Amino acid sequence: MGSSSMKEAAQGLKRNLPTRFARTAATHRKKGFLQQCRPWQTGSGIVAGGPMMRVKTVSAMNLSLALLMNWPLALLLLVPADAAAAAPAPDAPRRVVDAAKTPDTVALRRLIDQRMDVNDTDVDGTSALHWAVHRDDVNAVDLLLGAGAKASATNRYGVTPLSLACINGNARIVDHLLKAGSDPNTRSADDETALMTASRTGATEVVKLLVAGGADVNAKETWRGQTALMWAVAEQHPEVVDALIEAGADIRARSTKGFTPFLFAVRSGDPRIVRRLLAAGADVNEKGGEGTPALILAIVNAHYELAAYLLDVGADPNADAPGGTSLHAITRTRNYEYGKVVRPAAVQTGNMSDLELVDLLFAYGADPNVQIVKPLPRQGGFDNNYLKLIGATPFLLAARAADPTLMRILLDYGADPTIRTSENVTPLMVAAGMGYVQGQSIGYDRERYQAVKLLVDLGADVHAASDSGETAMHGAATGGVNDVVTLLVQSGAKLDTKSKDGWTPLSIADGTRSAFRAWPHTAALLRQLLADASK
């Protein structure tokens, strides 16, 4: 090609370039681009500093472009003849951290061979090693560690490659990271150690590697004071529990709420772990921070078979706790009082029924007339129950839950139906509806009627009043069950008794009492009965 033809080709190319590129070319010529250019090799292509321009082959167009850009021919001659075939695709990763996000080990190796920074990170501080570990790619991890990647790198969120490896449970990667200098006691931003992570994910071999590498088996996180053993227990990983106990984990350590590994095991309902911890020296009658023993913890979580096992190995059926003993607990769990508003009822495990456990509790000496000494704490902000239950027996709780089946069983085992609470509330009052809270209390109308009928047949006093001056009829008006109102009237109950606050059953049914809903059908019945009585 002659010089004039070449100039024409160059001019034509310049006219066809995008305006922005033409301006860039002119700018580089003005600034003496050749003196500023520091080319580096990417694969077998050349990328120049400044505007990213990939030169693939020595073609007429490349030559013309070189003339336009004032590039020397020597620069083009650095490109091998097979560059078009060997050059990476236009969308190939340009950074090691980007290559590590994909399974393309070839691209990763190419960038490493080009001396690209293996510790370069994304904006959040996540490195290539983070990504390789996250993807569980052993080969990529080894490539990066061999190229000098920092094993202890931490991103903006406090996450280390070791933590990610523990989540995945990859013992091989963990081993390589530890050998490359990862600290086995490094903590995440939420203060979780690598050992805690491996324990909760059930990675037994990883746990053993960390312990062998110097991890503190009794370290606690600062939020709740929980240990790796507590995590393994709560997540039901018996093999990890074995490994931690063998490594010297403290089975008597307590969280900030007073829970031990044994109490976590009972709450989760895993008999395999419960047996392991008892064999290691845990106390079957251990109590939590609020004073709840293991047996009651099993019952309130509906782990009835586990509760039976605890009884077999020495659990005290009469051990007291806030809310009473094991009989109080099973009455509540069987008739979960707060299921509709505050939290769902427990999901039963095993094949033993609640009533079978009641029989077993009595077989081990449970007292049917034991009274509540300390009440349960309030069940959250939606707990509107005003009724204090100090002094309540399991029978009174069964009456309150409108559970005639359990009431009869308790009577068969010697329950006294006349025992009142410390405020002189009777089983009849609560069976009729005293303390009822819409959306929180339980008991169907038919069952409530049956519970009241059982008590009336036993001779319960329908005129008895609590310390607040309320009677069973006030309770019936609170619960809004007309059949109960009728039954009480037929049994001689008065309709117009006033409480100490001046409330009558009718005013309660009308809903004039704060925080209690109106029952128009019950108010209408009471008005009719009052009218009939005045005739």
> Based on the number of CB atoms within 10 Å of its own CB, is 384 exposed (0-12), middle (13-18) or buried (19 or more)?
middle
Write down the mean pLDDT value for the chain.
Answer: 82
List, for residues 147-192, the tens digit of each pLDDT value: 999 999 999 999 999 999 999 999 999 999 999 999 999 999 889 9
Could you tell me what percentage of the chain is helix, strand and coil, using 3-state DSSP and rounding each to the nearest 5? 45, 5, 50
List, for residues 479-524, the tens digit of each pLDDT value: 899 999 999 999 999 999 999 999 999 999 998 766 567 899 999 9
The reported pLDDT for the residue numbered 89 is: 55
The reported pLDDT for the residue numbered 379 is: 57
- Does pLDDT of 53 surpass 60? no
Residues with Cβ < 8 Å from 44, sequence gap 6 or more?
Answer: 79, 80, 82, 83, 86, 87
The rounded distance, in Å, linking the Cα atoms of 457 and 407 is 13
Asked if residue 394 and residue 378 are part of one domain, the reply reads: no
The rounded distance, in Å, linking the Cα atoms of 174 and 165 is 6
CATH number at residue 440: 1.25.40.20
How many domains in the chain?
A: 3
- Rounded alpha-carbon distances, angstroms, from residue 460 to 65, 355, 423: 107, 25, 17
Beta bridge partners of 193: 187
Lowest-confidence pick of 34-38, 289-293, 443-447 = 34-38
The reported pLDDT for the residue numbered 383 is: 47
Asked if residue 437 and residue 366 are part of one domain, the reply reads: no
The rounded distance, in Å, linking the Cα atoms of 527 and 535 is 13
Residue ending a domain, among 349, 383, 417, is 383
- Domain around 311: 283-383
Residues with Cβ < 8 Å from 186, sequence gap 6 or more?
Answer: 152, 154, 160, 162, 163, 193, 194
The rounded distance, in Å, linking the Cα atoms of 451 and 460 is 11
Asked if residue 358 and residue 477 are part of one domain, the reply reads: no
Asked if residue 355 and residue 323 are part of one domain, the reply reads: yes
Residue ending a domain, among 36, 52, 86, is 86
Asked if residue 80 and residue 55 are part of one domain, the reply reads: yes
Asked if residue 11 and residue 64 are part of one domain, the reply reads: yes
Asked if residue 534 and residue 393 are part of one domain, the reply reads: yes
Asked if residue 460 and residue 399 are part of one domain, the reply reads: yes
The residue among 444 and 394 whose pLDDT is bigger is 394
The rounded distance, in Å, linking the Cα atoms of 256 and 259 is 7
- Does pLDDT of 62 surpass 60? no
Q: Is residue 12 part of a domain?
A: yes
Residue ending a domain, among 58, 86, 114, is 86
Asked if residue 520 and residue 427 are part of one domain, the reply reads: yes
Residue 343 token pair = 């939290």
